[in-house]
């Protein structure tokens, strides 16, 4: 056991010294990163994620719900100047899932639980702008440092398990030590970067929704509501979470709010964007298949002149 403790202490000490620097250049406050061109590989990746999600969550068929989300993404993409590639937007049935997500290939997923939980379009667009922020900032593309950190976390857990197992027949203790070691590495190396990306997506989303003509005050309303529901504030344990504590999130948003409100006032004084974009539909489950024709039959998916983005709040 002493050997295990020394091994874990040495590993965590090393990671504390080497794992704190962010692996991505931060996006300056108020800046909306330009959208990258979506490659066929990116789109196939997004389709694979969709295929996996659809095994548990069927596609929503309510056109009103689908079009509500798409109208908001339409406005956000216009404001971001991200209309050169389509945004693949999917509403998934899951009334107990209060979440949204985004991934490579410009795929955005929203669960019906999220639609049922928000009390205004402004609250919903806060979530959607956050997810679009992840995509625009390339958070959906892991860096070599992030992949290495994940591999290191897994390896450390395996080593801890072997070390404890060598001390005797402590199967349960060995498994627990492996889990704790792996989670400790993730907390030190993976999660600080994950939390930074979440706060950065909040920042991008706040200005993006303002530029699209949505009142940024709604972002404060949404995250305050989440805080009251006890959905994110983990107190001292926030370091072990991939998402920042809500008080940290709200502190940043309130500091940025005056500048975002100025952008909002400018946006609502401008004429509305063109409404001549062609609407498509969600992929039909029976026509979807990775690697098949890249233009399957669709129901309620849209594209903005061409394609666009996705990742989780």
Q: Are 50 and 107 within 8 A, CB to CB?
A: yes
Q: What is the pLDDT of residues 264-304, one digit of tens each?
A: 999 999 776 554 444 443 543 333 332 323 333 333 443 33
Q: Which two tokens stand for residue 196?
A: 């930074």
* Average pLDDT for the chain: 75
The CA–CA distances, whole Å, from 123 to 16, 114, 116, 226, 300 equal 37, 10, 11, 11, 22
Is residue 111, in this structure, part of any structural domain at all?
yes
Confidence label for 167 from pLDDT (cuts 50, 70 and 90): low
Is residue 157, in this structure, part of any structural domain at all?
no
Is residue 164, in this structure, part of any structural domain at all?
no
Is residue 310, in this structure, part of any structural domain at all?
no
Q: What is the pLDDT of residues 174-220, one digit of tens each?
A: 566 666 666 665 565 556 778 888 999 999 999 999 999 999 999 99
Is residue 216, in this structure, part of any structural domain at all?
yes
Is residue 8, in this structure, part of any structural domain at all?
no
Alpha helices in the chain (DSSP H): 2-18, 40-54, 63-80, 112-117, 121-136, 144-165, 171-185, 191-211, 217-228, 246-268
The edge-to-edge listing of strands for the beta sheet with 100-103 is: 88-92, 107-111, 100-103
Is residue 291, in this structure, part of any structural domain at all?
yes
CB neighbour class for 21 (10 Å; exposed up to 12, middle 13-18, buried from 19):
exposed
Instruction: Give the number of other CB atoms < 10 A from CB of residue 25.
Output: 7
Is residue 3, in this structure, part of any structural domain at all?
no
Relative orientation angle of helices 191-211 and 63-80, to the nearest 10 degrees: 90
Q: Are 10 and 186 within 8 A, CB to CB?
A: no
pTM of the predicted model over 0.75: no
pLDDT of 309 strictly over 80: no
Report the pLDDT value the prediction gives residue 238, as an integer from 0 to 100. Answer: 45
Name the domain count of the chain.
1
CA 193, CA 273: separation in Å to the nearest integer? 36
CA 110, CA 270: separation in Å to the nearest integer? 29
Which range of residues forms the domain containing residue 205? 31-145+191-302
């Amino acid at each position: 056991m002493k050997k295990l403790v020394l091994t874990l202490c040495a590993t965590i000490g090393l990671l504390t010294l080497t794992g704190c620097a962010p692996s991505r250049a931060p996006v300056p406050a108020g800046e909306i990163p330009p959208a990258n061109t979506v490659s066929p590989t990116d789109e196939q990746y997004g389709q694979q994620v969709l295929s996996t999600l659809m095994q548990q969550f069927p596609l929503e068929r309510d056109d009103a719900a689908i079009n509500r989300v798409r109208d908001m993404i339409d406005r956000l993409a216009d404001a971001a100047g991200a209309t050169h590639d389509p945004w693949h937007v999917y509403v998934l049935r899951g009334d107990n899932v209060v979440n949204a997500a985004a991934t490579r290939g410009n795929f955005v997923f929203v669960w019906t639980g999220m639609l049922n939980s928000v009390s205004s379009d402004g609250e919903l667009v806060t979530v959607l702008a956050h997810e679009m922020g992840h995509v625009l900032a390339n958070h959906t593309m892991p860096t070599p440092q992030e992949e290495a950190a994940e591999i290191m976390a897994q390896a450390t857990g395996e080593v801890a398990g072997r070390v404890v197992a060598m001390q005797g027949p402590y199967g349960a203790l060995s498994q627990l030590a492996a889990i704790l070691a792996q989670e400790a590495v993730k907390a030190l190396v993976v999660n600080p970067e994950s939390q930074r990306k979440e706060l950065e997506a909040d920042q991008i989303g706040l200005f993006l929704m303002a530029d699209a003509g949505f009142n940024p005050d709604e972002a404060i309303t949404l995250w305050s509501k989440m805080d009251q529901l006890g959905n994110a504030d983990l107190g001292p344990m926030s370091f072990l979470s991939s998402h920042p504590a809500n008080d940290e999130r709200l502190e940043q948003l309130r500091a940025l709010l005056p500048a975002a409100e100025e952008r909002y006032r400018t946006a609502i004084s401008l004429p509305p964007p063109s409404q001549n974009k062609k609407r498509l539909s969600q992929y039909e489950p029976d026509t979807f298949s990775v690697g098949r024709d890249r233009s399957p039959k669709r129901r309620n998916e849209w594209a903005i002149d061409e394609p666009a983005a996705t990742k989780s709040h």
